[in-house]
Structure 1
Amino acid sequence: MTKRFIYIILTLFLFLSCVDKKENEVVFEKEIPAKEDATKSWLHKVENYKKDKKYLSVLYKYYNQKIAEHNYLNAAEILDIACVYLADSYDFNEPFMAMIKEFDTKYRKEVPALKTTFVDAYLANYYYDKYDLKKACEYFRNITLLEPNDYNSCYNIARAYYDLSYMYYIMGKQNLSLVANQKSFEYFTKINNPKGLAFVYSNYSNIYTAIGDKKRAIENADKAIKAYKSIDNTYNVYIGLINKISIYDFMKDSRKRALIDSTYQAFIDSKDDSKILKIKLYDFKVENLVEENKLTEAKKILDDLKPVIEEIDSDDLTQEYKITTALYEIKKNPNYSNFNDIKKAIPTLITNQQYEKVNMFYGVLQNNAIQNNDFKNALHYEEAKQIITDSIGNIAARGRIAELETIYQTEKKEQKIALQKTTILNKNTTIALLASLFLGLFLTVVIYITRQKQKKLRLEKQNAQLYTKQLLEKTEEERKRIASDLHDSVSHELLGLKNLFEEKNDITNNKIDSIINDIRIISRNLHPIMFDKIGLKSSVEQLVERAQSVNDFMVTADIDYNNSLTTNDELQVYRIIQEALSNIIKYANAVAAKITISQKNESLIVEIKDNGKGFDVNEKLNGSNAFGLHNIIERSRVIGGEAKILSDKSGTIITIQIKK
């Protein structure tokens, strides 16, 4: 139930391309880089950082020279380049960190803020490696407070939102992760950056993993891999595959082992020299070998990996290596018990909300307990893992608890007010009784007159409702006839005309195909195909699928319906949903919508939600531009239902309750 609730909240905010087109169009074009001096050009090349041990000494000399010349902008630009290389390599050495902090305190104010975001980004990555996620988030948020004015600043802000989204994900704050990822998408779109959009897909796969939606998690992981391949970014293709392995691992998917083996072999064959990729893929490979009881091979890989771990000296990567080593030692010796480092790290990781890493640590301890037949501790670790898993995906539930607490406190206040009113009423009982005698006589007359008027109005309403129902039914019959004529007559005639052409003309054929396709769309909009045979549920599912594919718009449907309405009434429900979806796509600027059909007691409840910009319901209904809303209300009345429309800046909810 918890994950279902989380899923509803997340899908209400999900976007993938339904942001306003004006916000999604390219705003900043990539600039042609200015010609650089020889030293700066040399420092700019990543291969020099990777292969030349003099890189940092050349950097320090150049930086100090620019500071001495009071050329702070040039000094900032060279630090920006180096920060990217060092952070990506988990290189947080003390001399460079001291230089960053010196620049931050002494010279940063001399350079425009958009040119110094590298300081916050580098420090954020440092605190992430040290498991202080709250501090890391603070630095990333500093960057997101800025507004871009060129391609590079827009990229830096987009990347900060992406990193912030990932921080929130591993802290279990999936709602905040989703919002940050959405902003990252918007900024990467402004510069039309495919690599950045691949980052976004990768984060979406993480979020879906956290809430247990394996299908969408893998879909987004594959989108990220495809995007990296399209720009020939081999490093990030491997990162995408590693992310997919992690999803399989989290979901306990049997495909994990085969994907590890194939990715590991591809990496070996490629002769890639990336130390980060080597650590992550070798860790996974050792895990496979341990499961297969190939301990000699596993030990060889661990020995190969040890000097790389010591060279990089990253807390994060070192802990992962220790976990992998512990898995090997447990398999080799069931009595292995050297878990002091792991147990010591767990409280700090929980405090810093590093839930994903905590889950891995508990998994190692649980494996050891099971191997030693210590099922009491194995159960304890399983319960601890479940708590951590819930922490990753349970933020929405906590929000719901807070909401219910607010409602409860409000009800308590209302009860207190009601009690006060009752006390006052008891003090004035005599006056109230005397007044009630007079009011009783007066109300009897008023009620009699009112009931007579209501009876007359009810009869008029029933007649109007019957007329509207007959009118709608006749309209649907005519729509069905026109749709059939278009599909069976005009469409077939065009198809025959196409086949009559002796000389195949691609332009003519394409034009005829386009006309046929337009006719099919018109026909489908006039009357849903096979509605009479497949019923309401399947027709709505087709409508949702079509809305997503045609408009690239996230729509989900949750339908619990047992054919309790007549076919004509079902068709009216379908038209209501169709009209509401059309309004959302055209006017709401929403990123997602959800359709729910449920049965409650003697009523059928239809609900259409979106997370758009909302509107003033009364003002809209009283205006001249509300045909769609009136159409929904009138169709609801015709089938004995009542439509309620609630809307504010966080979205719109249309609810129709129909008596069965």
Structure 2
Amino acid sequence: MTILKNCFGTKTCIIAFLLMQFYTTGNAQPVADSLKQAALHGKSYDEKIKAWIRYLEDYQRYSNLEDMQQSCEEAMALARRHGDSLSLALIERIAGTVYYFKGKYDTAASYYYNAVLKLEKTTDKKHLAMVYNELGKLYRKTRDLERSLENYNKALSIYELLNDEEGIAVILNESGVVYEYKKDYEEASRRYNASLEIQKKRNDSVGISYSLHFLAGIYVQQKKYNQAKDLMREVLTIRQNLKDSFGLALTYADLGAAHKAAGEFDEATQYLLQSNRYAEKNGYPELMLNNYMELSGIAQKRADYQKALEYYQLGSALRDSIFSVEKKKQIEELNAKYNNIQKERTIERQQNRILLQRWAIAGILAVVVLLALLIYSQYKRYQLRKEAELKTALMNQHEQYTKKIIEAEETERQRMARDLHDGVGQMMTAARMNLSAFESAAPPQSQEQTALWTKIVQLVDDSCRELRHVSHNMAPHALQKNNLATAVRNFIEKLNKRDLRVQLYTEGLDERLDVNTEIVLYRVIQECVNNVIRHAGASMLDISITRDAEGIHATIEDNGKGFDTSDMEKFDGTGMKNIIARMAYLKGTAEFDSAPGRGTVVGLFVPLTPA
């Protein structure tokens, strides 16, 4: 899959820089340096904070991401010390963008939501629209397209209210990408052309280049490669004149993808490598990831499988550093937290209205005491009942959010397992077949060559088996057909029992449990067993899982080296906090009994009735 097909030349990267790019002038760098000096050594707080904000907003492109991160932290610390929530919100938005381009999406989401909560209390609607725009981009990155459009629509409404043509043009481009993902190319093209007309009216070379860039993407989707390349060369000329290194990196990447789609592999390779040189220099790992995957695809089409594997490994290493299930989970948790805060604000407004009603009732009491007392009494009972109902509803909603997070995590595990099986697994199988074919075509000429060849084939076979094992552990099929006891037994049977003797005892588990309970318990037991294998150095492991009238009891006991349970670093390093959190989701408990030299006992309990 090409960069253009995925997001047309990393449009997920392009959009974020629409609000960041301010291009070189003759004295821009000295002005940036003087602003930073004023921010660090100004005489008053007002002078310092204004210098920080202008430096961060106007001159980001003169610093690398590490420098910008450090500058944001210093500016935020200054604003916090002076209790300046508005300035803090403005800086938090910029900090979110910096972390976004570093691939730390969970941290970026945290800063964006903090900025939204502060700006919604102010009259600064323009900066609020800018944060909604960033949130739209973030959810587009995680492919939550409906939530992405929701944030873009919020931003567009504000810009239209402010009659801000520049902001409207940005959102038209941003939301156009979402419609490309939805494969609604007609709507995407309409938005890009509308943005282009605004930018031409404003004579904005930067905006014109991005709109043309996006329109070229539509041509690629429609396989009109010559028109796409013509537009991209026009964009390239504009960005070379602007000396926009980031924009040039994007343009070279998209030219490479267009040439690849047209079957022009030499030109494609040249442009993609040129893009990576710019991306590496400026520290944009996601763009490098996409370029490596494009280069791997080109090498495969040329039957250069060694080069394809090298590019794929480089891309995979970057992907692992950028994306993770945990980051997506944290983003969802931040969204849930934001929604809860919004609900709490609604409740607070409702309670304020109730307070006013109480004062009105107090006035009536002065006129008709007996009647007012009766009304007040009835009202209090009604209010308490409603507050109890509201509290129950909020608790149920919180449980649903937590359930969705667990389900999203399990779904992501299953997707990754499928990707491993269908993607890397097939590549390993193809490699094994090619090795066999090569052996038949060019048999070894000596015993040394035969031994080396046998070792290579054995390594490939071992890798295939390990891949299947990892895929199965990430998405166990046993729970789909069997109960918890059978699933755990199947997992244990796959362990290497030469070094670790495992005893499993189960009782009362013939009847199936709730699907979430079974999945969470299975993951917790799996984590405990893996901890024993990795850390305990044990020779014996006893597992007991029983069900009685109270609930589910489980113990995992080993004769390993044990550890100090008061050492919190051990809890961080072995996933024990994750075990405790999962058990808390089931309203259960997890207890650890261990000491150096006397093994470890983990006790788990899940009640069958609501806690």
TM-score (norm 1): 0.45
Q: Which of structures 1 and 2 has the larger relative contact order (alpha carbons within 8 angstroms, sep 6+)?
A: 1
Higher-Rg member (1/2): 1
TM-score (norm 2): 0.48
